[in-house]
Amino acid sequence: MDSSDDQGQLPPGFWERIDERSAQIRARGWNPTPSEIGAMIAEGRT
């Protein structure tokens, strides 16, 4: 089994966007987990 696709069908640059978004959020003094950030992006809250 190929484990390189275990994240499902994420768009290109998804994790880069997570990192960028988390840096912006941490700059505001909040430190969410990557999964929380991913959920916010998926819901369009950021």
pLDDT in tens, 1-46: 445 545 567 788 888 888 888 888 788 888 777 788 788 778 876 5
Extents of the domains making up the chain: 11-43
C-alpha R_g of the chain = 12
Give whole-number Cα distances, 5 to 11, 26, 36, 46, in Å: 12, 29, 21, 26
For 2, 28, 29, 34, the CA distances from 8, given in Å and listed in that order, are: 12, 30, 31, 16
Whole-structure pTM value? 0.40
Question: Distance between CA 12 and CA 33 in Å, rounded?
Answer: 21
Token digits of residue 46: 């950021």
